[in-house]
Chains A and B, each alone.
Chain A
């Protein structure tokens, strides 16, 4: 049966934020296709978990509940998902581009011999005419992502080897309750029939999950630095400005790669997607890899000594100059004028 599937990540009996976002994205696709939305959730003690899933408009939930399924391990989760997807033969399957999703989805794509597109920023439905076959394929998934260092947006399709699978980063898709009274059919999976001893050979000996204190997604103001900041110390100025304005500090991938700032503060396609009311980009040239994660900011200020930096074209204010002089001036005049 034609359907859209979402793999739901569960940690501590809670459906992950990214999975809730994907359920909403999946529902939008399912509505366009006029087909059901289905979810898979695997873990331990999942009693009642469906209540967190159905309000997103999910019609069927495939639940696998077993002591061996939490924390996540590649092989048992792959075995279960493979079995379900082979049986149900959905058209589209979505995964979070997380530590879990990026481990599971490719292995599964290989096992199902199907296509997988990573880190999509737009999902849509559309047609494609295959010249060689002189045939029009209707209602395919358009998996759209920045490619090649973010210089282009590529629309990736897959018309002959189904399902069509995609991963999406957290924060890219908008989460919205479809109907709080929605009801779903719950299908319980017989884990023992599917997961074998061979699937359990990798053992987790120790595990530390740290709740990050960085919350870029919710920050109303973000001061972000790029490679142009030049050093770890250079970021101190940005931290000072962000603190003053009640915002958070972020960085471009180049700044993270150079070790100027921690990777959990990376903004962009392979980092966090943000929608603050003010985004101050200091020394960020503006590769699409970065702008894909911040272009929805309500207001953008670009501080750059290069008048031709692509970021300037996106900005509401452009200050041409050395950020080491401009940022202190912003601090000074904010202190002087703020009530």
Chain B
């Protein structure tokens, strides 16, 4: 079997799953800035699937592709720590404010630059929006087939890849020719841990913008001269030949007209203790008004 070239799309997201009290404002709304930035959980599953294929098909390379502000370079480093061979970061102020359509255009432009490739993998959805749209939209822009909700790669041969998909009400096994794009379901195996050797090797990986900050140590700059692989490529609008009308806010058909913070309203709340008398009292009321029983 010939080696494959795999690209993993990964996103840095605010951790919206466990909003702690420190991230809650007094009015009960969430303070976004207080949420930790993490590797989108489904994207970690996609990385594992890619590394698993790399284990099975010798010579296969895995490139991690992320898009976001500078701090998203953490995603590329994390990918290296777990076994990715390469990393690329799409970052430019002008990409900001993009909805899923403009995002998929931007990502597809970057992927076109990375051609030829065999397989594009990404998480089913990102927890900051749960839309699950960027994968299929990117596949359309690349004019390649998509296989969504992948749980397992059953077989890979010269001509096709066979995958098991997790549907709402069942499973489906499908085959697709190369190249194709797959989105990976959270029911697939968890991502392997960091590899100590890789952490040592890549902990000084930086983008040029990161290196350019005033406080950068001279020793770090020297290290990057000696080991160019530590410099994470950073692609902006011109690097990927992006049409300015199709990126960022301008390229986004959906706009937020208004947002309303959620204020939950009480009808007439009875506050009870956990005492036997209180609990029994409530149960009796519910039985009397035929809610239960």
Contact = CB atoms under 8 A, between A and B. Distances in A.
A318 interface: yes
Given A99-B167, A107-B140, A148-B16, A118 B174 contact: no
Interface string A107-145: 101110111111100000000100000000000001100
Nearest to B154: A205
Interface stretch (B87-95, B124-132, B233-241): B124-132
Nearest to A130: B255
Interface string B136-159: 111111000111110000000000
Nearest to A149: B16
Interface stretch (B46-54, B56-64, B113-121, B257-265): B257-265
Interface string A83-125: 0000000000000001100111111011101111111000000
Interface in B271-293: 271-274, 276, 278-280, 282-284, 286-287, 291-293
Interface stretch (A29-37, A44-52, A187-195, A329-337): A329-337
Given A74-B136, A277-B291, A103 B279 contact: no
A135 to B, nearest CB: 14
Nearest to A211: B169
Contact of B32 (A148, A158, A312, A339): A148
B38 to A, nearest CB: 13
A115 B145 CA distance: 21
Given A287-B19, A337-B284, A204 B270 contact: no
A203 B293 CA distance: 52
B99 A115 contact: yes
Most buried by B among A109, A301, A311: A109
Given A110-B136, A316-B267, A156 B19 contact: no
A203 B254 contact: no
Interface residues of B, number: 79
Contact of A334 (B167, B170, B266, B292): B292
Nearest to A221: B292
B265 to A, nearest CB: 7
A70 interface: no
Contact of B292 (A98, A245, A319): A245
**Interface SS majority for chain B:** mixed
Contact of B147 (A202, A311, A318, A336): A202
A152 B259 contact: yes
A152 B169 contact: no
Contacts of B175: 202-203, 205
A149 B29 CA distance: 10
Nearest to B265: A313
Interface string A206-221: 1111111000000001
A205 B174 contact: yes
Given A103-B146, A106-B133, A157-B255, A207 B173 contact: yes
Contacts of A54: none
A204 B17 contact: no
B256 to A, nearest CB: 5
B272 A102 contact: no
Contacts of B258: 154-155
Nearest to A257: B17
Given A151-B262, A330-B279, 20 more contacts: A74-B136, A110-B101, A114-B101, A116-B133, A116-B254, A118-B131, A148-B30, A149-B128, A153-B260, A155-B257, A158-B253, A159-B255, A160-B253, A207-B172, A227-B18, A257-B17, A278-B291, A299-B286, A319-B273, A325-B274
Interface of A: 71, 74-75, 78, 98-99, 102-107, 109-111, 113-119, 128, 142-143, 146-161, 201-212, 221, 227, 245, 253-254, 257, 264, 269-270, 277-278, 286-288, 291, 298-299, 301, 307, 310-322, 325-326, 329-330, 333-334, 336-339
Which 6 A/B pairs are nearest by Cβ-Cβ distance?
A: A321-B274, A149-B16, A115-B253, A161-B253, A151-B30, A106-B133
